[in-house]
Every structure is written in structure tokens, then in C-alpha cells.
Chains A and B, each alone.
Chain A
Amino acid sequence: MATLLQPEKVLYLVRGEKKIRVPLSQLYFCRYCSELRSLECVSHEVDSHFCPSCLENMPSAEAKLKKNRCANCFDCPCCMHTLSTRATNIPAPLPDDPTKTTMKKAYYLACGFCRWTSRDVGMADKSVASGGWQEPENPHTQRINKLIEYYQQLAQREKLERDRKKLARRRPFMPQAFSQHTIHVVEKYGLGTRLQRQRSGAPISALYGLSLKEGEDQKEITIEPAQALDEVEPLPEDYYTRPVNLPEVTTLRQRLLQPDFQPAGASQLHPRHKHLLMKRSLRCRKCEHNLSKPEFNPTSIKFKIQLVAVSYIPEVRIMSIPNLRHMKESQVLLTLTNPVENITHVSLYTCEEEDPDDINSTAKVLVPSKELVLAGKDAAAEYDELAEPQGFQDDPDVVTFRKSNKIGFFIKVIPQREEGDVTVAFKLRHDFRNLAAPIRNTEEVEATSEAIWLTHHVELSLGPLAT
């Protein structure tokens, strides 16, 4: 039974730039555009950074400075688990009296999963619980930084030239927006993330002047080209004959997680600072409203704005599938759940013959022709044992049961193919009351929200034919 509750069996079609078929639990609903949105047709924005183990918040500028790594937490280089600090007591000579020894606390890092310790790579125990650990220096850091500066300057110069050309061609009253092309150039070397958010309507002439001035003031940075060496260090003589010490060889994953050093030996695997995670907010690309905005606090999992599809669109779930046989009609039991608090009317339609959305179905389906009425979701209903029976007249051939905001109903499926999985598709049409509409100052306070009818394309995968 648990397999039937899996939401991947019921897919809703999202008509965005790409046609995507995704379970309803992974979709968002923009109630201003009244359309379903998936993760691919929204724009993702970074809200905040935080460390997953110490849950420390970090502003974006600081995160960028620390290369998106936490200052206090480390990852095990062997199994990528979080390292914990352990203390031992070691005898150490007292500073005043070298002959006497006293127990002093020494701290080392240890992994609880693979039992790696910082002593394995030769890192000495520290006397401070946190903050004493240092990452090894990359010998090429200076050269890399110089190269990065040079290329950033180059990118900025290119961008200015491009904009100068545009400025010459365009008329003065047209917005001198940074074109899509320049935004890519800016992104190339990570110059400024603020520039991406500019829309074509925003006045940016002030900013434009600023960058010009900056460009002229910066001094020229030159770099020397890399030197090619003629001589390469020869391989040691026993390179082919020496037996491999397997525990000492690092795996590719361990090696590539430290791209600066890529150590081949396990005794050079140093721990790295833990990578930060981020909270993101989603925004509809058409109407620019926020669809999902999490809370700023890393310990909180709630959302300030949460426009998920399951709280607006009735959800279809498969309840039971009988044995499906080729060209024989069988009845599949589905449930429809109403997420909103008012009564919803749902009608189902079969897909037309040449429906461009209907590409996956391998069976014919007959849906109930009458309109199904779903009661509103009543949060207090589960505590009310003496619930009055709802006064809905249900056709017993179609509707099997009705429980608060859920009904079960039959659809008839005729598999058309002899082999393979059975997939059916139909259209779900329901009324949606848009509570986001602005409150009008009319006398009718309750009837301000008008119902609009939304149609969704739903696909069900009913599994293989019965043998």
C-alpha cells in the first residue's frame, strides 16, 4: 500500500518554457498568474548562508570572503563527515617548574564515522578547543590571486567598451540597460552580483557613471605568462615495481575534494573547513512575485511565504489498482483531496485525440462525466466526532467514499498495449478562488473573490499489466 502512496505515480504537467511533468508535491503555484510553476521556471535567489553543523548565519559578503566555508567546523577528508573536537589529558611540564608534570588538556579532531583523527596526518594537538586549526598554505595562492585580479580588470574593460558602443547607437531616452550579454561577462569572473538583478526598466545611469570613473582610476595590472619548463622531474626508479600500499592511496573523491593539493597519499589529507549551505527564495519569472521565502534564522524550517501547489490545487492519488489486462476494462480507484477551505467543484475530461500534451498514455481512460464536489478542508473536523453527514448526493457508481475533504472515485482504464507499463492521462478542471486579489471597497465583503476555472493535465502511471 505504501507504494501506491508514492507521489511519483501522479504527475502534473507544467506549461512553462519547457513542458515538465512532476508530482504535485514538487510544484509551486503562482496565485497572481494562476499557473503552476516548477523549479525550472522560477528564478532562484540566495537568501542567506549558514553552516550546516554549527548553524551559524553568515552575511553573503563575509561568505564570499571566506570562500563559502565555515570558520569553526571541519570536514573529515576521508569520509566527508563532520569532525568533532576531542580532548585528552596529557602530562606537560609546568612552566615554572620543569621537573613536575601536570595534566593539561590537549584537543584533536576526530571523525566519529571512519575514526580518522588529526593525528593521522601529523597535525599536533592544540591546547585551544576551537580556532587553533590552520589549513595548509597553497604555494600557488599568490599567482592565482594576481591572475584573478588581472582577468577581472579585463572583464570590466570589455564590459565598458560594449556599453560605450550601445550608448553611441541607442537613443538617450531608451534605458541603457546592461544587456544580457554584458551580464554574462560580469558573471564570468564574479565581479558583481548586484548587477544581475537590474531589469530593463530601472534607471541605472547613476551606476553607469560610477563604473566608468572606477575603470579609469585603476592602475594597469600586468602578468607574466607562465613559463614552460623543458626538464621534468624523472619518475623514481621503482615506480613500476614497488608494491602499492592500498590504504595509503587516496580515492578520487577524496583527492578531488581538495583541488588545491590533490594529495595522492592518505597521510597528506588535511581536513577542510565545512562548506556553507544556503537558503534560497524562489520568484515567478513572469510576475516577479515571491513564491517561496524561507525564514532568515537557520534553525527555523518555516517559510515567510510558501505558495506551494499542494495547498491550492486538488491532489489526485491512486488508492488501488486491480489486475490490468490488455483490452479489458478495469476500474481504478483514485482519491481527490481538496486543500482549500471552500467547496471545490472538479470535473474530469479525457484528452482529445490529437492533444499535444498527451504523449505518454498507453491506455484509454473513461472518466466520470458528472462534476465532483469536494467539501472544504475543515481543520477542526478531526476533533469533532459527531460530524454531521455532508449533504452531498453522490452517485454510488462513481464515488465510493467521502471523508471530510476527500472523495474516492472510479475511473475505467482499458490498456491498449500488450506489454509495458500502463499510463493514462486526463484533464482536471477545478474552480479556484483567488484570495490574493485586492480587496475592493464594495458592499459585498464575502463575494469579492471570483472563481476562475483552471485546467491541469494529469498523468498516472499504473504499473505493469497483470500476467
Chain B
Amino acid sequence: MFIIGMLVPNSSNVKIAMGAVVCVESDIRGDVTIGARTVVHPKARIIAEAGPIVIGDGNLIEEQALIINSYPENMLPDAEDVEPKTMNIGINNVFEVGCVSQALKIGDNNVIESKAEVGRNVILTSGCIVGACCAVNTCEVIPENTVIYGSECLRRVQTERPQPQTLQLDFLMKILPNYHHLKKTVKASSTPARS
């Protein structure tokens, strides 16, 4: 039986580094690597359909955020010239509640605010802020320190990049384990994994 559009994910291969806090209720499918000090809230979804996702350190992925590496809409999953592209996400990014990110390359210190949508062909460099409910579907590289805001997605450049959310991350890493079960971390080196 052949199912179009909904592939059976290649064996759920999630590598979670030490120090990351990933709640069990989050939905992670496919080949996903999560860096240290990253917090993934319950009900966040990270889906690697069309290729692996590599997430760096210090990221904050809130509830109902969707990070998806999916096939472009007009391509069938079994077309010959599809090669899996890796989605790279840098460090200290914030994916706020309900955002949708399909961008293949995200740098550092970016903030994607609530209910924002970032398309597949967008490349976020560093310090970019995509405002709440802004949908960025263009095919471009967003320059550093750009703020996209407003119902018409106006842009401006800010002089300083948003601060990394260290306080918030520390707080969450202490509090979340009190209320949620966490996914097991896997150490990439030879020493045995600590549960």
C-alpha cells in the first residue's frame, strides 16, 4: 500500500544531548538532533519528514510550535530527484507559542513570535525577529537584526540583537522536570547514556 503525503517516518531517531529538557508530550518524529540546554515544551512538534533536523544549544521551543522539514507542496514524496536536505537551527533561538517554522537555515539569537509563519525558502541570519502573526513566505535571506512586525509585515533594523533567554531557560530547566516526564537524553560519545 502506498500512501502519498504521509510517509512512515524513518525510524524515530532522536538524539537529545545532555542538559536538554525535552518533555515526553512533545511530538518529535524523524531524524532530529537537539543540542544542550535546549528546552522543548510539551505539545511542541518537531517533524523531520524530508530530511533531518539539527537544533543547536540554548533554544526555547514553546507549546504548539511546529518545526517541520517537509516536502515542498508541489512535489510527490517519491520523485527521483528529491534528496533529503538538513534543516539547521542555530543557538539561542526562541520559537514562541504556535509558530510554524519551515525555514531550512536559521542562525542564532532569532525570535519567531507567536503564530508567525516562516516559509521554506527563507533564511534567517542572526538577531532577526519575526513578529506575531507575520507570515514570511518570500525567497530571501533576511539580513541581521531585522524586525518584521505589523499586519503588513513592515520591517526595520534594530541596533541590538535580542538577548538570549538565559534566565527563562534556567527557570524552565528547573521547573519542567517537576511536572513532566522527560525524554531520555542520548550522549553522542562512547560513555554510556545517563537516564
> Which residues of A are in contact with B by a Cβ distance under 8 Å?
78-79, 113-117, 119-120, 247, 266
B149 with A79: CB separation less than 8 A: yes
Known interface pairs A113-B131, A115-B129; A120-B158 also in contact (CB < 8 Å): yes
Asked if B85 lies at the interface with its beta carbon under 8 angstroms from chain A, I say no
Known interface pairs A79-B150, A113-B131, A114-B150; A266-B160 also in contact (CB < 8 Å): no
| Bound Cα distance from A113 to B158, whole angstroms | 12
Residues 146-186 of chain B, each 1 if its beta carbon lies under 8 Å from chain A, else 0: 01011000111111101000000000000000000000000
User: In the complex, what's the smallest C-beta–C-beta distance from A185 to chain B, in angstroms?
Assistant: 44
B159 with A114: CB separation less than 8 A: no
| Bound Cα distance from A190 to B154, whole angstroms | 39
Q: List 27 A-B contacts (CB under 8 A).
A: A78-B156, A79-B149, A79-B154, A113-B131, A113-B149, A113-B150, A114-B131, A114-B149, A114-B150, A114-B154, A114-B156, A115-B129, A115-B147, A115-B149, A115-B158, A115-B162, A116-B156, A116-B158, A117-B158, A117-B159, A117-B160, A119-B159, A119-B160, A120-B159, A247-B155, A247-B156, A266-B156
A115 contact set on B, CB distance < 8 A: 129, 147, 149, 158, 162
A113 contact set on B, CB distance < 8 A: 131, 149-150
Closest partner residue, chain A, to B150 (CB atom): A79
Of A78, A79, A114, most buried by chain B (CB within 10 Å of CB) is A114
| Bound Cα distance from A120 to B159, whole angstroms | 6
Closest partner residue, chain A, to B158 (CB atom): A115
Of B149, B155, B157, most buried by chain A (CB within 10 Å of CB) is B149
B150 contact set on A, CB distance < 8 A: 79, 113-114
Interface SS majority for chain A: loop
| Bound Cα distance from A79 to B157, whole angstroms | 13
A78 contact set on B, CB distance < 8 A: 156
B149 with A247: CB separation less than 8 A: no
A266 contact set on B, CB distance < 8 A: 156
10 tightest A-B CB contacts, nearest first: A247-B157, A114-B149, A115-B147, A120-B159, A115-B158, A247-B156, A113-B149, A114-B147, A115-B129, A114-B156
| Bound Cα distance from A78 to B150, whole angstroms | 11
User: In the complex, what's the smallest C-beta–C-beta distance from B135 to chain A, in angstroms?
Assistant: 17
8 Å CB interface, B109-157 against A: 129, 131, 147, 149-150, 154-157
A120 contact set on B, CB distance < 8 A: 158-159
A114 contact set on B, CB distance < 8 A: 131, 147, 149-150, 154, 156
| Bound Cα distance from A78 to B162, whole angstroms | 18
Closest partner residue, chain A, to B129 (CB atom): A115
| Bound Cα distance from A120 to B160, whole angstroms | 9
| Bound Cα distance from A119 to B160, whole angstroms | 9
User: In the complex, what's the smallest C-beta–C-beta distance from A314 to chain B, in angstroms?
Assistant: 39
B129 contact set on A, CB distance < 8 A: 115
User: In the complex, what's the smallest C-beta–C-beta distance from A246 to chain B, in angstroms?
Assistant: 9
User: In the complex, what's the smallest C-beta–C-beta distance from B103 to chain A, in angstroms?
Assistant: 20
| Bound Cα distance from A179 to B129, whole angstroms | 60
B158 contact set on A, CB distance < 8 A: 115-117, 120
User: In the complex, what's the smallest C-beta–C-beta distance from B190 to chain A, in angstroms?
Assistant: 43
A247 contact set on B, CB distance < 8 A: 155-157
Of B147, B156, B160, B162, most buried by chain A (CB within 10 Å of CB) is B156
User: In the complex, what's the smallest C-beta–C-beta distance from A327 to chain B, in angstroms?
Assistant: 45
User: In the complex, what's the smallest C-beta–C-beta distance from B157 to chain A, in angstroms?
Assistant: 4
User: In the complex, what's the smallest C-beta–C-beta distance from B61 to chain A, in angstroms?
Assistant: 21
| Bound Cα distance from A247 to B147, whole angstroms | 11
12 additional contacts (CB under 8 A) given A113-B131, A114-B156: A78-B156, A79-B149, A79-B150, A113-B150, A114-B131, A114-B147, A114-B149, A114-B150, A115-B147, A116-B158, A117-B158, A119-B159
B160 contact set on A, CB distance < 8 A: 117, 119
B149 contact set on A, CB distance < 8 A: 79, 113-115
B162 contact set on A, CB distance < 8 A: 115
| Bound Cα distance from A305 to B154, whole angstroms | 43
| Bound Cα distance from A116 to B150, whole angstroms | 13
A116 contact set on B, CB distance < 8 A: 156, 158
Closest partner residue, chain A, to B146 (CB atom): A247
Closest partner residue, chain A, to B132 (CB atom): A113
User: In the complex, what's the smallest C-beta–C-beta distance from B109 to chain A, in angstroms?
Assistant: 13
| Bound Cα distance from A120 to B158, whole angstroms | 7
| Bound Cα distance from A79 to B158, whole angstroms | 13
| Bound Cα distance from A120 to B156, whole angstroms | 12
User: In the complex, what's the smallest C-beta–C-beta distance from A271 to chain B, in angstroms?
Assistant: 15
| Bound Cα distance from A116 to B131, whole angstroms | 13
Of B129, B159, B162, most buried by chain A (CB within 10 Å of CB) is B159
| Bound Cα distance from A450 to B147, whole angstroms | 66
| Bound Cα distance from A115 to B156, whole angstroms | 9
| Bound Cα distance from A254 to B147, whole angstroms | 17
| Bound Cα distance from A344 to B72, whole angstroms | 64
| Bound Cα distance from A115 to B131, whole angstroms | 10
User: In the complex, what's the smallest C-beta–C-beta distance from B125 to chain A, in angstroms?
Assistant: 15
8 Å CB interface, B36-91 against A: none
| Bound Cα distance from A291 to B117, whole angstroms | 48
User: In the complex, what's the smallest C-beta–C-beta distance from B1 to chain A, in angstroms?
Assistant: 43
B156 contact set on A, CB distance < 8 A: 78, 114, 116, 247, 266
User: In the complex, what's the smallest C-beta–C-beta distance from A374 to chain B, in angstroms?
Assistant: 44
A119 contact set on B, CB distance < 8 A: 159-160
| Bound Cα distance from A78 to B158, whole angstroms | 11
Closest partner residue, chain A, to B155 (CB atom): A247
Closest partner residue, chain A, to B156 (CB atom): A247
| Bound Cα distance from A119 to B161, whole angstroms | 13
| Bound Cα distance from A119 to B158, whole angstroms | 10
| Bound Cα distance from A116 to B155, whole angstroms | 11
| Bound Cα distance from A79 to B129, whole angstroms | 15
Closest partner residue, chain B, to A88 (CB atom): B163
User: In the complex, what's the smallest C-beta–C-beta distance from B115 to chain A, in angstroms?
Assistant: 15
User: In the complex, what's the smallest C-beta–C-beta distance from B145 to chain A, in angstroms?
Assistant: 10
